[in-house]
Amino acid sequence: MLSCFSCLNQWEVATKRADIRPEDWPSICEFGLKPTDASLGGCVGTRPVGRRIRARLSTRNERGQSLVEFAVCLPILMLILTGMMTFGIALHNYLELTNAVSIGARLVAISRGQTIDPCAMVATAVYNAAPLLKRTNLTFSLVLNGTTYPGATCSSPSTTTGAAGNLVQGADAQLTATYPCNLKVFGYNYAPVVP
């Protein structure tokens, strides 16, 4: 008789052959299973039903469980990652624009009397200081001695000297540059209006 059966343990699995002599039973049944007369020459377990069910459940394949958990967590992780990247890009644009406006304002402060079109000079300085920002999205407003000049060029039809005539020592000069902020993550803009 060559029938095989298994002696299952919660931690180990061993397969025993049924054609082994009854004298060898104690050596082949090392998992605490006792032979009976109805075993046809093999080891038959006398474990309670609860222990058998727990042992069976603990040895089941659980590879699909991690895949399901990953599928549930992936959209949340991607939303967080995309939001962090979008916020990082917006913060980088803000810092680059702030630095470029600071450079342009310093250039206006030291170039009194050296330029005919201070707005174009400032716009060029801001463009060069912020190369990663799109030039078409930048808007400028320059206030010289109380006169506002919107845009990248200063042209004043009332005076022949244009904005250069307002660049006088001791007068106020203010540069404002704006750039659109886009905090759109998966189709929703979290900051449509940024002050």
3-state secondary structure 98-156: HHHHHHHHHHHHHCCCCCCCHHHHHHHHHHHHCCCCCHHHCEEEEEECCEEEECCCCCC
CA-closest candidate to residue 145, choices 98, 103, 108:
108
More confident: 123 or 47: 123
In sequence order, the β-bridge partners of residue 6 are: 15
Q: What is the mean pLDDT of the chain?
A: 74
Query: What integer pLDDT is reported at residue 58 of this predicted model?
Result: 66
Asked if pLDDT for residue 6 goes beyond 70, the answer is no
For residue 39, how many other CB atoms are within 10 A of its CB? 17
Average pLDDT over residues 17-36: 53
More confident: 181 or 159: 181
More confident: 171 or 103: 103
Asked if pLDDT for residue 96 goes beyond 60, the answer is yes
pTM, 2 dp: 0.59
For tokens 């474990």, name the residue. 47
Domain boundaries, the chain: 4-58, 63-189
Asked if pLDDT for residue 191 goes beyond 80, the answer is no
CA-closest candidate to residue 127, choices 138, 117, 118:
138
pLDDT digits (tens, 9 = 90+) for 38-82: 544 444 556 677 777 777 666 566 667 888 899 999 999 998 999
Considering all CA atoms of the chain, what is the largest pairwise distance in Å, rounded to the nearest integer? Answer: 121
Task: Specify the DSSP class assigned to residue 166.
Answer: G
